[in-house]
């Protein structure tokens, strides 16, 4: 099936509008709140780390002294966002209109599978990258061009990672909507669904990313900039910055989950439940 980006975007926006009240609650809990908390509690530490970039000993001490705090917020935020993506996907899936509690429950049940996909993807990426880089650099070293081999390896690895990210982009809706818990099977299903549409999907995702960065930049200039000029570097300014960045991130995360869900629905076709309901 040929991917239609206009249809995917229109269906995603329709799904968001139809569930906006519930999505606001999910977005606030799983996307906005973690960003706001990290902004409030980590701003001073992040500032100190940035100021110590040219002082390795100071930066290492800051990192070691605050490792627990950094890991706590990092892992906690990542876990919350994973549950959020899964819950939003369950909410706007084509299998009915689940409540907030049912959506979160579906997200929690799917969480181990998504975590397993992350582990498999990370291990596979590391092994493939190391093996390919060593092979390519070794071949170029034989002809006295190790530097060129290193540069080529980096470029090819980045291209391969970009391609893989497109091919596995539908893993979340596959886990939730197709109810595939096996990580290998979920990744294989995503790979098959995107077959023949990789370039179209890449272009679509690129447009979404450009739009997100443009929106974030404009919002920062229009809202955060004037607030910083008026209030300076105080706690209120930090809170406003966290609210703005968190709200933008939450909106983008919800839209992304909706887009991926509708992309999956388009490429996979209607579910068995949807087809059956047509004849009821």
pLDDT digits (tens, 9 = 90+) for 42-58: 777 777 776 777 777 87
For residue 44, give Cα distances in angstroms to 33, 66, 81, 92, 194.
18, 12, 23, 38, 43
Q: What is the pTM of this model?
A: 0.85
What is d(CA 18, CA 21) in angstroms, rounded to the nearest whole number?
8
Q: How many degrees, rounded to 5, is the angle at CA 29 between CA 112 and CA 8?
A: 75
77 and 242 Cβ atoms separated by less than 8 Å: no
**Of 119, 93, 117, nearest to 186 (Cα)?**
117
| pLDDT at position 86 over 80 | yes
Q: What is the arithmetic mean of pLDDT over 214-240? A: 75
Instruction: Select from 177, 39, 22, 24 the least CA-distant residue to 113.
Output: 177
Comparing CA positions, the residue from 175, 59, 188, 165 lying closest to residue 108 is 175
pLDDT, tens digit, for every residue of 131-180? 988 888 888 887 777 788 888 888 999 999 999 999 999 999 999 999 99
Distance CA 63, CA 50 (A): 12
Q: Which of 86-90, 125-129, 133-137, 154-158 has the lowest mean pLDDT?
A: 133-137
């Amino acid at each position: 099936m040929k991917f239609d980006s206009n249809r995917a975007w229109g269906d995603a926006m329709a799904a968001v509008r139809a569930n906006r009240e519930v999505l606001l609650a999910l977005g606030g809990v799983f996307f906005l709140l973690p960003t706001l908390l990290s902004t409030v509690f980590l701003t001073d530490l992040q500032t100190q780390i940035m100021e110590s970039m040219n002082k390795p000993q100071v930066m290492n001490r800051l990192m070691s002294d605050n490792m627990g705090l950094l890991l706590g917020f990092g892992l906690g935020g990542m876990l919350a966002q994973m549950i959020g993506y899964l819950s939003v996907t369950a909410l706007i899936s084509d299998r009915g209109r689940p409540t907030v509690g049912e959506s979160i429950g579906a997200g929690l049940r799917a969480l181990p599978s998504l975590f397993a996909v992350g582990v498999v993807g990370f291990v596979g990426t590391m092994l493939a990258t190391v093996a390919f880089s060593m092979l390519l650099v070794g071949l170029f070293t034989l002809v006295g061009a190790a530097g060129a081999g290193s540069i080529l390896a980096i470029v090819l690895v980045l291209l391969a990672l970009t391609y893989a990210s497109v091919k596995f982009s539908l893993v979340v809706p596959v886990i939730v909507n197709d109810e595939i818990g096996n990580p290998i099977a979920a990744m294989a299903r995503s790979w098959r669904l995107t077959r023949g549409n990789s370039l179209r999907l890449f272009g679509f995702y690129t447009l979404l990313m450009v739009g997100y960065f443009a929106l974030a930049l404009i919002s920062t200039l229009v809202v955060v900039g004037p607030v910083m000029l008026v209030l300076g570097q105080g706690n209120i300014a930090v809170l406003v910055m966290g609210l703005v960045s968190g709200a933008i991130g939450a909106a983008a995360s919800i839209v992304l989950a909706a887009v991926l869900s509708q992309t999956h629905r388009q490429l996979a076709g209607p579910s068995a439940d949807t087809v059956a309901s047509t004849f009821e």
